[in-house]
Amino acid sequence: MTKPMQRDLFPGALEMMILRTLKRQPMHGYALVQQIKRTSNDLLEIEEGSLYPALQRLLKAGFVKAEWGISSTNRRVRTYKLRPAGAKHLEREVSSFERMLKGITQVLAPGEL
Amino acid sequence: MNWLTQFFSRQRRYDELSEEIQAHLEEKVEELVAEGMSREEAMHSARREFGNVGLIEENCREVWAWPSLEDVFFDIRYGLRALSHSPVFAVIALLTIAIGIAANTAVFSVVNSVLLKPLNYPKSEELVALHQVAPGAEGLADFESGLLLSPSMYVTYSEHNQTFQSLGVWISDTANVTGLAEPEQVRTVAVSDGVFETLNVAPAVGRWLSPPDQVPNGPRRVMLSYGYWQRRFGGDPAVIGRNITIDSQPREIVGVMPNGFQFVDADFDLAAPLSFDRGKLILAGFGFHGIARLKPGATIAHANADLTRMLSIWMDSWSNGPGTNPQIYETWKITPMIRPLKQELIGNVGELLWVVMGTIGVVMLIACANVTNLLLVRVEARQQELAVRAALGAGWTRIVRTLLVESLMLGLTGGIAGLGLAYAGVRLLVAIGPSNLPRLNEIALDGRTLAFTVVLSLLSGLLFGLIPALKYAGPRSTLAPQNSGRTISVSREQHRARNVLVVGQVAMALVLLMCAGLMIRTFGALRKVDPGFADPQHLQVMRISIPDTLIAEPERVMRTQNAIVDKLAAIQGVKSVGFVSNMPMEGFDSEWDEIFAQDKVYSGDLIAPLRLYKSISPGLLQTAGTRLVAGRDFTWSEVDSIRPVVMISENLAREIWGTPSAAIGKHLREFKDMPWHEVVGVVQDVREKGVQDKAPEIVYWAPLVHNRFAPVVRTATFVIRSDRAGTESFLQEVSAAVWSVNSNLPLASVRTMQEVYDKSLARTSFTLVMLGIAGAMALALGIIGIYGVMSYTVSQRKREIGIRLALGAQNGDVLHMVLRQGTKLALVGVAIGICAALGLTRLMTNLLFGVTAQDPLTLVAVAALLILIAVLACYIPARRATLVDPMVALRYE
């Protein structure tokens, strides 16, 4: 069975990765999953489906917009695009994440205990 | 996007979502196929990596507003469908709940209207009754209303108090109204200045009675009640300023009080001013009810202290005439015990209503237990369905919620049906309720009652839904489909829940039956008490009042009454006639005074004990069927010549002279300038205040006596013994006979003595009926509970029984086995019930008479009845068990 993604990610992490990926270029759901998996070198085990509730949340918050269109492989897909509000949100999230990561790293750093 | 468009575009959004997820899966499959996987394998793998499609779609939908509400709608739809698939279950469960909720709602509406709602006066929490007690005045202790106020007390209190905004006194009476239609006796209330200000209810028309109306010999004014205004004047506002003839004197109508207005508990037709003549007031005359409105911030303790202070002012300011010592009242130990007006009004009915509410509440619990049992069986049968839902991705909270929504729906639907029943139930309660129930006219289903019903419905829904829901849909995964296989017997644990419920039902039923049984015994004991009159259904009673404005001279009053007796006695079928100031249990105020015996010494200024006294005509005792224990009755010639003779009750004779016969020939009197009266007769004790109360000591004066205050009884109850009592034709002849003597005399309170007697038992019979209904419901529900569980057990154990029979068990063995199991449950229930009953019935001690709350006979009888019925309820399923065909039962294996 698949593992629930919450075990590996903190709340908001998936949204952050989606926004970051979309910042590079608009994509549809399937491509988005593959892209995230690929860029994380498959280190993160993500249940593919868990992407969709996160996308819905971003849609609702107005961070992304969605449009139906035809993909490069000639399928009818819904393509997600980053909106300015989403970009701003991403910036904020990333900086706060970096602060957090820095803190955690310092605590975990060897020799300080 | 606002929420409305969001609501409507939702379906499209969900469709798009499904499409998107499908596209995702397809793309994945194609990619995997391209990598060389077989199509089937690829589909499998794609789904596995995607996760639970249903759950994810649901999570996505949850993002878009009101997810829980939508789920609840879904659950309701689902629940309705599930219920409609098992209509028998639904109907039985709904009926049980509806009846339970109806009974509770009806009783609660009475409790709410009588006990909980504030009185119908503005800022009613400030209103108090000026209640006082006088433990030093023997006899007065019998007064339920304590020591009432005298006019001089009222004047003192109203002039010197520091804790009241306003206060006043009132007294209810009757008066004759003539000149409108037939002469009519109406209920009047005489009010002092301050009563209207205290109650502070604006008149519907016109104005209040005001201080100028209270001046002695001043203008004669009157106010009408709304009901009388409608009845006699058709609600005509032009009635203000018109005159109405009351007790042969014209009075000007100045106002009408609004609909539903009462002077505390007095329903009235007319309100007249009390005009006290300050110069003539004495200390005594304790006949007036006092009410007051506390100043903001003043407490009852402050007011009591205030009254205590004013009592000494009162004793210093007034006297009882020359030669009397005002300080004698110190021996009475008059103590103010001011009570909230609401408490005064409700009296002791609160206890009765809470007992009824409690028992009906227990019935509801039993009903819930029954429905829980039904639901347990149902959930068990639905295990497979629930397991499938769980396998399809429903979380266990979701399943619990589905089950709870279903039971809450049952509760609410039952509640709605129950509300309809309750509406009828309230009317029934008002009809059978004791007619002296305070605030009877206020009883209605109001907002609070509705809220109660809703809360009760939800709570019971939760109560009977929670147990099955938690039991079968808990987080442990026992819901695997293979568990519901046919051959597995139901686990012991699942039986335990049902057994506990049945035991609880039996125990609760026992408590309720015990209560009902005790009321039956009480009623029986009350019926056995000799009330002091005989054969009441053949006694016609009615009140005739002769005001001094109609006939002034006492002798002429007595002659008029004598003439009425003669005319009534001449009616065909009348055996005998008499009259008396009031018959026992009629509920009119009794009169008390000091009585001195000639051969007893009363030390110093001490006053003699107060005794209840009545005036009776010759022949009254014989008419009423009251026995003479010693001596003889009065004669009319003694009455005519005002001979100083008197009769006394047996208990008074024993108290003063030891034996009834020793009292004959002794003398007593009421006050100093009254001649000594010879005791000529001793009368059996009479239950004056109702059979449950001790018979008071009574002095019987003749209808005309040497008494400067009250030489004659102006308002009397006429008593006629006839087999025709109560018939229409008889009553017509009776009125004709009375009016042939004086056409201005209305007949009031026309009843048979049986009605008076029944009314005095109304409280007990009401309790009996209510507890009887509760007990019967409990018994019926309990039987259904036992029967249901045993039937279900037998059907579950069919195979086991089949095996037993196949292995050689006899029918009798199987019968006994099932009976034993059922009886065991009943016995445990009865045992617990007995313990509970012994503790709980103590709460109703005050409602009982002639039986203790732990009466062993009742307890044994009730327990035996319950066990017997439980065994009978088990017998049918047990019989069915013996009819199991081993071949059929085993074929399923």
Work out the number of other CB atoms within 10 angstroms of the CB of residue B169: 28
State ipTM. Answer: 0.82
Domain-embedded: residue B456: yes
Domain-embedded: residue A35: yes
Tell me the count of A-B CB pairs closer than 8 A.
Answer: 58
pLDDT tens by residue, B47-62: 888 888 888 887 777 7
Question: Which residue segment(s) compose the domain that A91 sits in?
Answer: 5-107
**What CA–CA distance (Å, rounded) separates A51 from A22?**
13
Domain count, chain B: 4
A-chain residues within 8 Å CB-CB of B27? Answer: 30, 73, 75
In angstroms, the separation between the Cα of residue A35 and the nearest Cα of chain B is 13
Q: For residue B178, what are the β-bridge partners?
A: B245
Look at residues B65, B83, B106 and tell me which one is the last residue of a structural domain. B65
In angstroms, the separation between the Cα of residue A109 and the nearest Cα of chain B is 35
Residues in chain B: 893
Tokens of B167: 């206060």
Examine the pLDDT at B2 and tell me if it is beyond 70.
Answer: no
In angstroms, the separation between the Cα of residue A84 and the nearest Cα of chain B is 18
**What CA–CA distance (Å, rounded) separates B682 from B630?**
5
CATH at residue A58: 1.10.10.10
Q: Are residues B478 and B504 in the same domain?
A: yes
Q: Are residues B256 and B314 in the same domain?
A: yes
Facing residue for A53 by CB, picked from B48, B53, B56: B56
Q: Do A52 and B21 touch (CB under 8 A)?
A: yes
Q: Report which secondary-structure segment, H or E, holds B834.
A: helix B811-840
**CA R_g for chain B:** 38
Amino acid at B848: L
Question: Taking chain B, what is the end-to-end CA distance rounded to the nearest angstrom?
Answer: 62
Q: Are residues B434 and B501 in the same domain?
A: yes
Examine the pLDDT at B564 and tell me if it is beyond 80.
Answer: yes
Examine the pLDDT at B1 and tell me if it is beyond 50.
Answer: no
What are the DSSP calls for B702-763, one per residue?
A: -SB-S-SS-SB-SEEEEEEEETTTT-HHHHHHHHHHHHHH-TT---EEEEEHHHHHHHHTHH
pLDDT at position B488 is: 46
B524, B371 Cβ separation under 8 angstroms: no
Domain-embedded: residue A113: no
B-chain residues within 8 Å CB-CB of A29? Answer: 20-21, 23-24
pLDDT tens by residue, B589-608: 777 777 888 888 776 555 67
pLDDT tens by residue, A44-94: 777 788 888 888 888 888 889 888 888 777 888 888 998 998 899 899 888
pLDDT at position A3 is: 37
Q: Report which secondary-structure segment, H or E, holds B164.
A: strand B164-178
Domain-embedded: residue B56: yes
Q: Are residues B559 and B438 in the same domain?
A: no
Highest mean pLDDT among B228-237, B429-438, B599-608, B664-673: B228-237
Examine the pLDDT at B848 and tell me if it is beyond 60.
Answer: yes
Percent with pLDDT over 90 in chain A = 3
CA closest to A29 among chain B residues:
B24
In angstroms, the separation between the Cα of residue B44 and the nearest Cα of chain A is 12
Q: Are residues B599 and B685 in the same domain?
A: yes
pLDDT at position B620 is: 95
| Cβ-based neighbours of B530, under 8 Å, separated by 6 or more | B684, B687
* Among candidate residues B872, B869, B853, B844, the one with its CA nearest the CA of residue B779: B869
Percent with pLDDT over 90 in chain B = 31
B-chain residues within 8 Å CB-CB of A1? Answer: 48
pLDDT tens by residue, B294-336: 999 899 999 999 999 999 899 888 887 776 777 777 877 888 9
pLDDT at position A1 is: 34
pLDDT tens by residue, B68-117: 666 677 777 877 787 777 777 788 888 888 888 988 998 898 888 888 88
**What CA–CA distance (Å, rounded) separates B873 from B777?**
16
CA closest to A55 among chain B residues:
B60
Q: Summarize the confidence of residues B425-439 as an average pLDDT.
A: 75
B328, B606 Cβ separation under 8 angstroms: yes
A18, A54 Cβ separation under 8 angstroms: yes
Work out the number of other CB atoms within 10 angstroms of the CB of residue B864: 11
Q: Do B50 and A47 touch (CB under 8 A)?
A: yes
**How far is CA B479 from each of CA B75, B199, B471, B494, B615, rounded to the nearest angstrom?**
20, 67, 11, 14, 84
| Cβ-based neighbours of B590, under 8 Å, separated by 6 or more | B582, B612, B614, B688, B696
Q: 3-state class of B37 per DSSP?
A: coil
Q: Do B16 and A78 touch (CB under 8 A)?
A: yes
Domain-embedded: residue B86: no
Look at residues B744, B777, B811 and tell me which one is the last residue of a structural domain. B744
Domain-embedded: residue A12: yes
pTM, 2 dp: 0.70
What's the mean pLDDT when you consider all of chain B? 85
pLDDT tens by residue, B513-543: 999 899 899 988 998 999 999 999 999 999 9
**What CA–CA distance (Å, rounded) separates B862 from B870?**
12
Q: 3-state class of B528 per DSSP?
A: helix
**How far is CA B78 from each of CA B71, B83, B322, B392, B512, rounded to the nearest angstrom?**
10, 9, 90, 16, 38
**Mutation site for B-interface testing, chosen from A56, A63, A71 by largest number of B Cβ within 10 Å:** A56
Question: Which residue segment(s) compose the domain that B564 sits in?
Answer: 547-744
pLDDT at position B480 is: 44
Facing residue for B50 by CB, picked from A48, A56, A76: A48
Q: Are residues B293 and B144 in the same domain?
A: yes
Q: Are residues B731 and B769 in the same domain?
A: no
Question: Taking chain A, what is the end-to-end CA distance rounded to the nearest angstrom?
Answer: 39
What are the DSSP calls for B297-317, one per residue?
A: T--HHHHHHHHHHHHHHHHHH
**What CA–CA distance (Å, rounded) separates A52 from B53?**
10
Q: Which residues of chain A are at the B interface, by a Cβ-Cβ cutoff of 8 Å?
A: 1-2, 29-30, 33, 47-50, 52-53, 56-57, 60, 68, 73, 75-78
* Among candidate residues B281, B275, B264, B121, the one with its CA nearest the CA of residue B190: B275
**Sorting pLDDT into bands at 50, 70 and 90, what band is B472?**
low
B290, B167 Cβ separation under 8 angstroms: yes
Domain-embedded: residue B468: yes
Domain-embedded: residue B320: yes
Q: Do B51 and A47 touch (CB under 8 A)?
A: yes
Work out the number of other CB atoms within 10 angstroms of the CB of residue B669: 21
**How far is CA B614 from each of CA B137, B686, B756, rounded to the nearest angstrom?**
19, 12, 18
pLDDT at position B614 is: 92
Residue B393 region by backbone torsions, left for phi larger than 0, else alpha for psi between -120 and 50, else beta: left
A51, A32 Cβ separation under 8 angstroms: yes
Domain-embedded: residue A112: no
Examine the pLDDT at B586 and tell me if it is beyond 60.
Answer: yes
Q: Report which secondary-structure segment, H or E, holds B249.
A: strand B249-256
Higher model confidence: residue B143 or residue B258?
A: B258
pLDDT tens by residue, B247-263: 888 999 999 999 889 88
A-chain residues within 8 Å CB-CB of B24? Answer: 29-30, 33, 48
Q: Do A57 and B63 touch (CB under 8 A)?
A: yes
Facing residue for B20 by CB, picked from A29, A47, A60: A29
**What CA–CA distance (Å, rounded) separates B672 from B676?**
9
CA closest to B46 among chain A residues:
A48
Domain-embedded: residue B534: no
* Among candidate residues B690, B692, B689, the one with its CA nearest the CA of residue B847: B692
Q: 3-state class of B152 per DSSP?
A: helix
Facing residue for B63 by CB, picked from A56, A73, A78: A56
Domain count, chain A: 1
A-chain residues within 8 Å CB-CB of B26? Answer: 75
A-chain residues within 8 Å CB-CB of B51? Answer: 2, 47-50
- Helix ranges, B161-225 (H): 195-199
B338, B129 Cβ separation under 8 angstroms: yes
In angstroms, the separation between the Cα of residue B119 and the nearest Cα of chain A is 55
Q: Are residues B629 and B767 in the same domain?
A: no
Facing residue for B60 by CB, picked from A48, A53, A68: A53
Q: Which residues of chain B are at the A interface, by a Cβ-Cβ cutoff of 8 Å?
A: 16-17, 20-21, 23-24, 26-28, 48-53, 56-57, 59-60, 62-64
Q: Do A2 and B48 touch (CB under 8 A)?
A: yes
Helix axes B492-528, B349-381, angle to 10 degrees: 150
pLDDT tens by residue, B736-757: 999 999 888 888 888 999 988 9
B656, B663 Cβ separation under 8 angstroms: yes
Amino acid at B720: I
Q: Are residues B323 and B378 in the same domain?
A: no
Domain-embedded: residue B824: yes
**Sorting pLDDT into bands at 50, 70 and 90, what band is B435?**
low
At which residue do the structure tokens 């018939």 appear?
B727
C-alpha dihedral over B294, B295, B299, B303, to 10 degrees?
A: -60
In angstroms, the separation between the Cα of residue A90 and the nearest Cα of chain B is 20
Q: Decide: residue B604, CB within 10 A, 0-12 exposed, 13-18 middle, 19+ buried.
A: exposed
Q: Summarize the confidence of residues A95-110 as an average pLDDT.
A: 86
Q: Do A60 and B64 touch (CB under 8 A)?
A: yes
Q: Do A77 and B56 touch (CB under 8 A)?
A: no
Q: Summarize the confidence of residues A98-110 as an average pLDDT.
A: 85
Which of these ranges, B128-137, B354-363, B884-893, has the smallest mean pLDDT? Answer: B884-893
pLDDT tens by residue, B781-838: 888 888 887 887 787 777 788 888 888 888 888 888 888 888 888 899 999 999 999 9
A-chain residues within 8 Å CB-CB of B33? Answer: none
Q: Summarize the confidence of residues B692-705 as an average pLDDT.
A: 89
At which residue do the structure tokens 């995607």 appear?
B50
**Mutation site for B-interface testing, chosen from A15, A37, A52, A68 by largest number of B Cβ within 10 Å:** A52
Q: Are residues B714 and B817 in the same domain?
A: no
In angstroms, the separation between the Cα of residue A23 and the nearest Cα of chain B is 21
In angstroms, the separation between the Cα of residue B395 and the nearest Cα of chain A is 14
Domain-embedded: residue B94: no
Q: Summarize the confidence of residues B705-734 as an average pLDDT.
A: 89
**Sorting pLDDT into bands at 50, 70 and 90, what band is B192?**
very high
Q: Are residues B168 and B314 in the same domain?
A: yes
* 3-state SS track over chain A: CCCCHHHCCCCCHHHHHHHHHHHHCCEEHHHHHHHHHHHCCCCCCCCHHHHHHHHHHHHHHCCEEEEEEECCCCCEEEEEEECHHHHHHHHHHHHHHHHHHHHHHHHHCCCCC
Facing residue for A2 by CB, picked from B16, B51, B60: B51
Q: Are residues B425 and B320 in the same domain?
A: no
Facing residue for A76 by CB, picked from B23, B28, B64: B23
Q: Decide: residue A35, CB within 10 A, 0-12 exposed, 13-18 middle, 19+ buried.
A: middle
pLDDT tens by residue, B376-410: 877 777 777 777 777 776 667 777 878 888 888 88
Domain-embedded: residue A66: yes
Examine the pLDDT at A5 and tell me if it is beyond 60.
Answer: no
**What CA–CA distance (Å, rounded) separates A82 from A61?**
12
Domain-embedded: residue A19: yes
Q: How many CA atoms lie within 13 A of B790 on its CB side?
A: 31
CA closest to B65 among chain A residues:
A60
Tokens of B808: 């050689």
- Helix ranges, B224-340 (H): 226-233, 300-317
pLDDT at position B486 is: 45
**What CA–CA distance (Å, rounded) separates B64 from B23?**
21
Examine the pLDDT at B500 and tell me if it is beyond 70.
Answer: yes
B695, B651 Cβ separation under 8 angstroms: yes
In angstroms, the separation between the Cα of residue B56 and the nearest Cα of chain A is 6
**Mutation site for A-interface testing, chosen from B3, B9, B19, B20 by largest number of A Cβ within 10 Å:** B20
In angstroms, the separation between the Cα of residue A79 and the nearest Cα of chain B is 10
Q: 3-state class of B841 per DSSP?
A: helix
A57, A18 Cβ separation under 8 angstroms: no
